[in-house]
Amino acid sequence: MKEVIIGLEVHVQLNKLRSKLFCSCSTQYHDSEPDTHTCPVCLGLPGALPVTNGKAVDNAIKVALALNCNIEEWTMFYRKNYYYPDLVKGFQISQYDYPIATNGSISLDTEDGERAIRIKRVHMEEDPGRLVHVGTIDKSKYSLIDYNRSGVALLEVVTEPDLRTPKEARLFLNKLKNILEYLDVFDSSLEGSLRVDANVSIAGGKRAEIKNISSYKGVEKALLFEIVRQNNLVRRGVKVVQETRHFDEVRGITISLRTKEGEEDYRYFPEPDLVPITIRDRVDDIKKTLPELPDAKRQRFALQYGISDNHAKVLISELGLANFFETVATEVDANLSATWIADVLKGELNYRDLDISAFSPAHMVQILQMLKKDTITEKGAVQVIRTLLDEGGTPSEIVKRKGLLKIAADVSENAVFEVLAENPAAVQDYHDGKDEALNFLVGQVMKKTRGRADPRTVSKLLKEKLQNAPDNHREA
Amino acid sequence: MITEETVDHLGWLARIKLTEEQKEKFTDQLNSILGYFEKLDEVEADVPPTHHVLGLTNVFRDDVAGQSISQEEALGNAPKKERGYFKGPRIV
């Protein structure tokens, strides 16, 4: 396998803000008609003046701190000039020479251990509008434009070319998303909240830039396709050219965008309508408000609760899941909680495409308490979880309704006696050393108790009784 | 040094169609403007660059959502519109 080199430019919307970056239009446009959340500023009407949203700057600093960046002394906005229908002013207010932060890193859990992925820079800019193509992109006669998104605060995070596989790229994005959600500056569930440009080259060749990737899985898909494409070229002895390619999410392929030479001629110059921002004096206050971040939480979970690092890793992967675990673990045994939340509940949620808010921590506590008291079996507990997710209700009511209460030992014992009496042949087989006879007998008991007996207890009871049961050979 | 090719390219970037006459004229004009600005190269290198002329820093507004204009108003000056959207050329 030839060496693959990947770098990402990730654009995330600071969509927890109430208003846009340079005007007070609301950011809550996701369920609205097109062009209903605009004003002269975000429509780029002549004479309208931008005013910076102070909280957007604070949120950007928060992110920069969490990404271990060097926060610059001061920062300013530039105009990035280009023509495109989604860009109202003919330029995008962005940052160029004095970005808000540089030189950070994210520690990534890769397949060959932890590795630091360097962050080159973090900068602020405004989102353009949303283009809607009528029909497919290459067949539509015109485009429709919705400017509700125009002017929403974006943060661009640029990595160094430190990623080596498409999977690592996806892991990186998940980790970034995780950090942003901990910081409460980002909601990844909103449409259009994340867009990625990925640069990839193989074996020291020229790199291709893939634009327009808008999902976490899409990044991996686009890169896989692109690596195969470049490998095929190299194998045929064709040189890979440096170019910009467009990712077609539907077809899962990248297409060359034929661009005129020198199109990247953005003619940046300082934005005269906005004044510089001094950041340093804001940093100390913001540092104090930083929450515990995923890596720190992972370490604390392992130390404080004595759970395995693997469980800790799963639990911290979403803030909601981490909080859910802590709520439950203060009531019942932490290791039991970790196992049932990280392994069982998380699996059931994923299967149903639900997140942790679909399950009540109080219900989890009740289920685990029943398990601990041995009043339900593990199989029963799984059934209760599934029923709660599919039909709702409460654990105790479900246990009653579905008859999941583990039955008392004497009932099991009666069933064991009955089964032994009814199946002399199997008993004989057992004495003849046929192990499967025991399994058969356990099965019969489970049938009799409608699955409510605990198979391990039944097996133990059977063995005991069988020791004392008549062995026809010995009697003869 | 600005050549006619540069002006041609600038014209394309700005989406302005230029006649041969205009290209010649603008090449001359832009060169004389650049020559005028070369004066600045005589400034001592230790003078900090001027990033903004106002001397102000940190002008912010609070993150409060305000009134937007209606869809009708937003589309008021649009030469072409459709179903509440602005209608523009197809760009690939």
Mean pLDDT value across residues A14-42: 97
Asked whether the beta carbons of residue A34 and residue B57 sit closer than 8 angstroms, the reply is no
Q: Give the residue among A270, A214, A208, A265 at the shortest CA–CA distance from A239.
A: A208
Mind listing the pLDDT tens digit for each residue in A211-221? 889 988 899 99
pLDDT score of A138: 60
Residues 6+ positions from B70 with CB-CB distance below 8 Å = A36
Question: To the nearest whole angstrom, how far is the Cα of A234 from the nearest Cα of chain B?
Answer: 28
Q: Establish if A79 touches chain B: CB-CB under 8 angstroms.
A: no
Q: Where are the beta strands (DSSP E) in B42-84?
A: 60-61, 81-82
Q: Establish if A28 touches chain B: CB-CB under 8 angstroms.
A: yes
**Length of chain A, please?**
476
- C-alpha count within 13 angstroms, C-beta hemisphere, residue A222: 32
pLDDT score of A262: 52
CA pseudo-torsion sign A318, A321, A326, A327: positive
A/B interface, count of CB pairs below 8 Å: 130
pLDDT score of A445: 86
Question: To the nearest whole angstrom, how far is the Cα of A357 from the nearest Cα of chain B?
Answer: 28
Using 50, 70 and 90 to split pLDDT, how confident is the model at A431? confident
Asked whether the beta carbons of residue A265 and residue B88 sit closer than 8 angstroms, the reply is no
pLDDT at A261 over 50: no
Mind listing the pLDDT tens digit for each residue in A319-347? 999 999 999 999 999 999 999 999 999 99
Using 50, 70 and 90 to split pLDDT, how confident is the model at A470? low
Mean pLDDT value across residues A277-303: 94
Search chain A and give the residue with CA nearest B15: A83
pLDDT at A247 over 80: yes
**What is the per-residue DSSP string for A259-284?**
--TTTT----EE-TTS--EE-HHHHH
Asked whether the beta carbons of residue A83 and residue B85 sit closer than 8 angstroms, the reply is no
Mean pLDDT value across residues B13-28: 94
pLDDT score of A359: 95
pLDDT, mean over chain B: 92
pLDDT score of A122: 97
**Spatial separation of the C-alpha atoms in residues A75 and A60, rounded to whole Å:** 12
Q: Establish if A85 touches chain B: CB-CB under 8 angstroms.
A: yes
pLDDT score of A453: 77
Using 50, 70 and 90 to split pLDDT, how confident is the model at A294? very high
Q: Establish if A49 touches chain B: CB-CB under 8 angstroms.
A: no
Search chain B and give the residue with CA nearest A22: B61
pLDDT at A258 over 80: no
Asked whether the beta carbons of residue B62 and residue A55 sit closer than 8 angstroms, the reply is yes
pLDDT, mean over chain A: 90
Characterise A420 by phi-psi region: left (phi > 0), alpha (psi -120 to 50), beta (else). alpha
Mind listing the pLDDT tens digit for each residue in A83-114? 888 999 999 999 999 999 999 999 999 888 89
pLDDT at A471 over 70: no
Mind listing the pLDDT tens digit for each residue in A50-70? 999 999 999 999 999 999 999
Q: Give the residue among A91, A179, A183 at the shortest CA–CA distance from A128.
A: A91
Mean pLDDT value across residues A247-269: 79
Q: Give the residue among A235, A286, A233, A221 at the shortest CA–CA distance from A64.
A: A286
* Higher pLDDT, residue A447 or B57: B57
3-class state of residue A232 by DSSP: helix
| Lowest-confidence segment of A193-197, A314-318, A425-429, A461-465 by average pLDDT | A461-465
- In sequence order, what are the beta bridge partners of A106? A117
Residues 6+ positions from A80 with CB-CB distance below 8 Å = A91, A92, A93, A94, A96, A125, A266, A268
DSSP one-letter code for A191 = T
pLDDT score of A476: 38
pLDDT score of B14: 86
Which A residues in the span 234-263 are in contact with B, Cβ-Cβ below 8 Å? 257, 260, 262
| Lowest-confidence segment of A72-76, A266-270, A428-432 by average pLDDT | A428-432
pLDDT at A474 over 90: no
Residues of B with CB under 8 A from a CB of A: 9, 12-13, 15, 51-54, 56-71, 74-75, 80, 82-92
Mind listing the pLDDT tens digit for each residue in A114-149? 999 999 999 999 999 998 877 665 666 788 999 999
Cα A425 versus chain centre, distance:
56
Residues 6+ positions from A158 with CB-CB distance below 8 Å = A7, A8, A9, A10, A119, A120, A121, A122, A123
Mind listing the pLDDT tens digit for each residue in A143-179? 899 999 999 999 999 999 999 999 999 999 999 999 9
For the entire predicted model, the pTM comes to: 0.83
